[in-house]
Amino acid sequence: MQAFFGLEVTGVLDNETVEVMKAPRCGVSDISRYGHFDGKPRWEKRQLTYRITQYTKDLTQSQVDAVIAEAFQLYSDVIPLDFKQINSGTADIIILFKGGYHGDFYPFDGAGGVLAHANSPGQRQGGDTHFDDDERWTLTQSGVNLLLVAAHEFGHALGLDHSRDRGALMYPTYQYVNTNGYRLPEDDTRGVQALYGSRTTVPTTAPKPKPPPGPDPGPEPEESAEDPNPDPLPNPRNEQCSRGLVFDAATSIRGDLFFFKNGYYWRKSRAAIGIRFTKVKTKWSQINYVDAAFEVPSKDVVYLFEGGQYWGIRAYAKTVIPGFPKSLTNLGLPSSVSKVDAAVYVPTTRKTLIFVNNQYWSYNQGRNQMDIGYPRYITQDFPGIGSKVDAAFENYGYLYFSNGPRQSEYYLPYRRVMRVLLNYGWLNCY
């Protein structure tokens, strides 16, 4: 166990080992970096049915149904299997929530210990998945997040064993990560594709429910269908749910997320339902398109870059701060830089990272000057995100770096990629 969790192998039950043993976890025993059960059991059919026979008291039935479907979708996105819920009859996978003894030889141990367990693929009880209803199941960071635990257990139900990779979904101890736009991490994807192969076509999904009646809140008007001054770049509205979607830029503004493409942006609000789609020039009349963007929340200022200049704007205001636009050289960038690829402000360091081609600069917002010793190579300081950054933003303490349609969720204190996502997942696409 000490070797598996990266502890010093002493053979002694020291404090650090005890702390790891006490961590909330899955009830299946441990292995190494992605692995399979003995004999590599797998399902031989292409569509699996599942049935939820007992629900938790913590969430509504519709919430549980939706989360379970989302957890299965993580796998059907990457392997050629589809999953269908049935409400009666015999299903391939039986799912239930119950505390203590619940009909198998592995009774649950109350809140905070084993959270759930699942059987490997096979006949009869193969794939069946049980959740300890003594836990407090939630859809957020509080309590135990059902999506993360369900997706982990369904990995077992498909034939995956535990992984030693701390960034993997199949890591044995529970660790909350932001589930907004969550996609199956790379280690888990490789493991499940080794059993079933990769999906070559986009899986079919149920149609998204219509938003509730009434106007969609938000201060800015939506772009009209007809534009008297058409843009040279295509309108990206139809790309919203494309798996190949590439962002020009991204930033947070007072908690909402803005994703820019071809002179337009999608706005994902914390308070409003749905995604707003607006032309940049409709909101900020002096700006045609956005190459890069970042917010400094403590100053209530957002900076938008277009070509060789940038604007400072008060959050949500339509007027530019006096004195803008300014040249990129005002930031300390060399005159040879004609445009910025991406930029992101890091609140914990009060530094803004500015990306150009395969290098980046660090700008000190407190001193209003570029740090000495830059530029540096992206691959040198941010291993795993690639050699180029098309868009970047900060959200709930994580940095998100987009390189083409793929996105790396990066945790700066650990200097490591936690998950690999796709851009379109932020835009309510499932």
The catalytic residues are 153
Q: Which residues contact 252 (CB under 8 A, 6 or more apart)?
A: 258, 295, 297, 393, 394, 395
Write the burial class of residue 92 (CB in 10 Å: 0-12 exposed, 13-18 middle, 19+ buried). Answer: buried
Question: Residue 402 in contact with residue 392, Cβ under 8 Å?
Answer: yes
Give the amino acid at 253. Answer: I
How many angstroms separate the first and last alpha carbons of the chain? 37
Number of H helices, E strands in the chain: 6, 24
User: Using CA atoms, how far apart are residues 397 and 393, in angstroms rounded to an integer?
Assistant: 10
CA 55 to chain centre: 27
**What sign results for the dihedral spanned by CA atoms 25, 26, 31, 34?**
negative
Give the amino acid at 52. Answer: I
Give the amino acid at 221. Answer: P
Question: Residue 419 in contact with residue 148, Cβ under 8 Å?
Answer: no
Helices assigned H by DSSP within 197-293: 280-283
Of 127, 164, 108, 134, whose CA–CA distance to 44 is shortest?
127
Q: Which residues contact 282 (CB under 8 A, 6 or more apart)?
A: 220, 221, 223
Helix (H, G, I), strand (E, B) or coil at 196: helix
Strands across the sheet with 256-261, in order? 249-253, 256-261, 264-268, 275-279
Question: Residue 33 in contact with residue 110, Cβ under 8 Å?
Answer: no
Of 189, 198, 193, 191, whose CA–CA distance to 37 is shortest?
191
Question: What's the full length of the chain, in residues?
Answer: 430
Number of other CB atoms surrounding residue 334 within 10 Å: 10
User: Using CA atoms, how far apart are residues 292 and 278, in angstroms rounded to an integer?
Assistant: 17
User: Using CA atoms, how far apart are residues 251 and 315, in angstroms rounded to an integer?
Assistant: 11
